């Protein structure tokens, strides 16, 4: 949907009002994802899953409009003006809104303000919370044996309006499912008014909170019993209230809460550039992925770039090239390209990778590894190469720091090893405020540690934040025995260790542990 104002025809920027969906980051539309990738500025509201921000390189600003206590954080007029000012300055702006921009949101008010200011805009619909919540909770609102209609109703009207626009008599007589948005704080009143208007007290009713997320909770009852069931249950917004016979379907149609990681939050400590696939896998298994990188990846400086180019021009001197990380692969091929070379320059050179993930990174460049050890660790890699490297030259493309065991073992096997630093690691010094709070309050189920250096950095950051590892309820899972040893040397209790030394192995180890509630 496109709108074009007339007052400001020289505006070079543009605004897109994009529905982010109900919470699960996989439910954004293809068009929405494309626009995020192209945006200069993303203004996102408080219901947007922050994992969606990985899709953009633009500046991101949170514009949560209202706190839960009702006090304003960013007034709507300020948001409108921010959109206008950014577009006037020539920016491509995405206004990212939870659910759908217009369904009980204020996207239409923003669109009207843009029109008045002469700002070109488009609207990208999103999956609204009601439809997603029903399907993730196990309710089919319009099952042909139950209901031929569904009504979406606000449970929180404009407080400045005198009286209500809701006709509870008509709602009580409505021949279908009723879905109330934003009504948790008025649940008792809404149920009472429906019963007073003639709807049976035994009508099935439910509350769905945090729909489509690992924190989703559902309370089932009737119009008469639901308020008491919800009271003191700890249910919090965002929420929806569902009234109708479709609630009875939950025992048959519930699927989301049966996923293996449902209700489990997992901290991913790898650099953000390496976290996308594992975060996606956690979400697909019903869990929550919490990005908490311990290390930042950066390119090398100009002097080192010149040294890399000189080494690449002598590639034919080497018999082997070894990679021990995906970043090493990516940066090696980036420098290869900068030098005007490509995969053909590797002809005749044998290639070794420490594990399947690193080898998969190599395959993205159309190249297959010749050797991958059965155990994904430096010692096993050196042992697998040992019969082949006596008298041969080996190039190790690596970070600016790491364990020295690989070149030591290969040298002992008769190889000449050159270490080529193709990227740098920098320690993150402290947790974000949100992550620190979750660790202190026991609101993070697991932290995954994927290397000894990350284990040591995590322990250091806990100490800096004043968080006791011994008293922390968050459990720790490691990728390998070497990482477990490093963690325990730092005083970190390890609850699970991967049998296969990959991120998928960590998830398997976590799934084998009992879920704490």
Per-residue model confidence as pLDDT tens digits over 20-69: 999 999 999 999 999 999 999 999 998 899 999 999 999 999 887 545 45
Position 135 in a domain: yes
Q: Which pLDDT belongs to residue 7?
A: 47
* 238 prior amide bond cis, ω within 30: yes
If one counts every other C-beta atom within 10 angstroms of the C-beta of residue 415, the result is 22
**Which of the four pLDDT bands, split at 50, 70 and 90, describes residue 139?**
very high
Do residue 272 and residue 312 come from a single domain?
A: no
Summary mean pLDDT of the chain: 91
Q: Which pLDDT tens digit goes with each residue over 386-426?
A: 999 999 999 999 988 777 899 999 999 999 999 999 999 88
Q: Which pLDDT belongs to residue 6?
A: 46
Pick the more confident residue, 70 or 471.
471
pLDDT of 10 strictly over 60: yes
pLDDT of 101 strictly over 70: yes
Do residue 220 and residue 273 come from a single domain?
A: no
Nearest CA-CA partner of 417 in 451, 453, 391: 391
Do residue 359 and residue 270 come from a single domain?
A: no
Dist CA 385 CA 432 (whole Å): 42
How far from chain centre, in Å, is Cα 190? 35
430-450: average pLDDT: 94
CATH code, domain with 233: 3.30.950.10
433-457: average pLDDT: 93
Do residue 149 and residue 249 come from a single domain?
A: yes
Last residue of a domain, one of 127, 142, 170: 127
User: What is the rounded (10 degree) CA torsion for 495, 499, 502, 508?
Assistant: -70
Position 335 in a domain: yes
Q: What is the DSSP string of 368-430?
A: --SB--SS-SHHHHHHHHGGG-TT-EEEEEEESS--SHHHHHHHHTT-EEEEEEEEEEEE--S
Tell me the pairing of strands 217-222 and 416-427.
unpaired
pLDDT of 9 strictly over 70: no
Dist CA 363 CA 369 (whole Å): 8
Q: Give the burial class of 243: count Cβ atoms within 10 A of its Cβ; 0-12 exposed, 13-18 middle, 19 or more buried.
A: buried
pLDDT of 474 strictly over 90: yes
Nearest CA-CA partner of 37 in 115, 97, 120, 94: 94
Q: Which pLDDT belongs to residue 468?
A: 94
Q: Are 110 and 79 in contact (CB under 8 A)?
A: yes
Position 423 in a domain: no
Dist CA 192 CA 197 (whole Å): 9
Out of 125-134, 148-157, 441-450, which region has the weakest mean confidence (pLDDT)? 148-157
Do residue 393 and residue 433 come from a single domain?
A: no
Do residue 393 and residue 337 come from a single domain?
A: yes
Q: Which pLDDT tens digit goes with each residue over 157-175?
A: 665 566 678 899 999 999 9
Q: Give the burial class of 428: count Cβ atoms within 10 A of its Cβ; 0-12 exposed, 13-18 middle, 19 or more buried.
A: middle
Position 419 in a domain: no
Beta bridge partners of 97: 19
Q: How many domains does the chain have?
A: 4
Do residue 161 and residue 58 come from a single domain?
A: no
Out of 56-70, 228-242, 490-504, which region has the weakest mean confidence (pLDDT)? 56-70
| 191-216 b/e (C-beta count within 10 Å ≥ 16 → b) | bbbbbeeebeeebbbbbbbbbbbbeb
Domain residues for the domain of 389 are 299-412
What is residue 136's DSSP assignment? H
Do residue 143 and residue 253 come from a single domain?
A: yes
How large a percentage of the chain has pLDDT more than 70? 95
Nearest CA-CA partner of 184 in 68, 48, 24, 44: 68
pLDDT of 108 strictly over 60: yes
Position 417 in a domain: no
**Which of the four pLDDT bands, split at 50, 70 and 90, describes residue 376?**
confident
CATH code, domain with 320: 3.40.50.10090
**Which of the four pLDDT bands, split at 50, 70 and 90, describes residue 451?**
confident
Do residue 381 and residue 397 come from a single domain?
A: yes
Q: Which pLDDT belongs to residue 495?
A: 97
Position 495 in a domain: yes
Q: Which two tokens stand for residue 373?
A: 């050890």
pLDDT of 442 strictly over 60: yes
What is residue 194's DSSP assignment? H
329-347: average pLDDT: 94
Q: Which pLDDT tens digit goes with each residue over 235-275?
A: 999 999 999 999 999 999 999 999 999 999 999 998 887 78
Q: 3-class SS at 63?
A: coil
284-305: average pLDDT: 91
Do residue 37 and residue 93 come from a single domain?
A: yes
pLDDT of 177 strictly over 60: yes
Taking CA atoms, 319 is separated from 190, 313, 339, 347, 416, in Å, by 75, 14, 20, 10, 10
Do residue 113 and residue 6 come from a single domain?
A: yes
Provide CB contacts within 8 A for 161, sequence distance 6+: none
pLDDT of 1 strictly over 80: no
Tell whether pTM > 0.85.
no
Last residue of a domain, one of 101, 127, 153: 127
**Which of the four pLDDT bands, split at 50, 70 and 90, describes residue 125?**
very high
Position 142 in a domain: yes
Position 458 in a domain: yes
Do residue 248 and residue 153 come from a single domain?
A: yes
61-88: average pLDDT: 79
Q: Which pLDDT belongs to residue 197?
A: 96
């Amino acid at each position: 949907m496109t709108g074009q104002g007339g007052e400001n025809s020289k505006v070079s920027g543009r605004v897109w009002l994009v529905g982010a969906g109900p919470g699960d980051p996989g439910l954004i539309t293809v068009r929405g994802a494309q626009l995020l990738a192209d945006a200069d500025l993303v203004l996102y509201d408080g219901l947007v899953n922050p994992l969606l921000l990985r899709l953009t390189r633009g500046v991101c600003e949170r514009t949560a409009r209202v706190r839960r206590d009702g006090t304003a954080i960013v007034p709507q007029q300020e948001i409108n003006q921010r959109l206008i000012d950014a577009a006037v300055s020539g920016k491509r702006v995405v206004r990212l809104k939870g659910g759908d921009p217009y369904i009980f949101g204020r996207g239409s008010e923003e669109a009207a303000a843009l029109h008045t200011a002469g700002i070109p805009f488009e609207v990208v619909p999103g999956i609204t919370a009601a439809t997603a919540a029903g399907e993730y909770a196990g309710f089919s609102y319009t099952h042909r044996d139950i209901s031929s209609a569904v009504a979406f109703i606000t449970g929180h009207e404009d407080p400045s309006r005198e009286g209500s626009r809701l006709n509870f008599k008509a709602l009580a007589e409505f021949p279908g499912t009723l879905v109330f948005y934003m009504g948790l704080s008025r649940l008792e009143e809404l149920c009472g008014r429906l019963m007073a208007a003639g709807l049976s007290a035994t009508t099935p009713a439910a509350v769905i909170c945090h729909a489509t997320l690992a924190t989703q909770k559902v309370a089932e009852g009737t119009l008469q019993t639901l308020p008491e069931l919800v009271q003191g249950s700890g249910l919090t917004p965002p929420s929806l209230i569902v009234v109708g016979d479709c609630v009875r379907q939950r025992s048959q149609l519930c699927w989301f809460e049966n996923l293996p990681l449902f209700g489990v939050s997992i901290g991913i400590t790898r650099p953000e550039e390496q976290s996308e696939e594992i975060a996606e896998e956690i979400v697909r298994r019903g869990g929550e992925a919490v990005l908490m990188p311990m290390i930042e990846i950066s390119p090398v400086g100009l002097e080192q770039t010149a040294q890399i180019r000189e080494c690449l021009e002598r590639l034919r001197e080497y018999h082997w090239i070894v990679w021990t990380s995906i970043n090493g692969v990516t940066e090696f091929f980036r420098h290869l390209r900068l030098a005007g070379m490509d995969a053909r320059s590797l002809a005749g050179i044998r290639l070794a990778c420490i594990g399947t993930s690193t080898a998969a990174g190599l395959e993205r460049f159309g190249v297959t590894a010749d050797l991958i050890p059965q155990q994904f660790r430096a010692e096993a890699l050196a042992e697998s190469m040992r019969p082949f490297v006596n008298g041969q030259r080996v190039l190790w493309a690596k970070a600016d720091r790491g364990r020295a065991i690989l070149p030591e073992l290969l040298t002992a096997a008769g190889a000449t090893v050159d270490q080529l630093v193709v990227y740098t690691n920098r320690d993150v010094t402290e947790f974000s405020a949100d992550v620190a709070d979750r660790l202190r309050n026991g609101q993070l189920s697991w932290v995954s540690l994927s290397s000894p250096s990350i284990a040591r950095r995590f322990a250091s950051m806990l100490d800096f934040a004043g968080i006791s590892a011994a008293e922390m309820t968050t459990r720790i899972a490691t990728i390998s025995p070497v990482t477990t040893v490093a963690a325990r040397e730092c005083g970190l209790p390890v609850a699970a260790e991967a049998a296969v030394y990959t991120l998928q192995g960590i998830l398997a180890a976590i799934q084998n542990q009992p879920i704490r509630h």
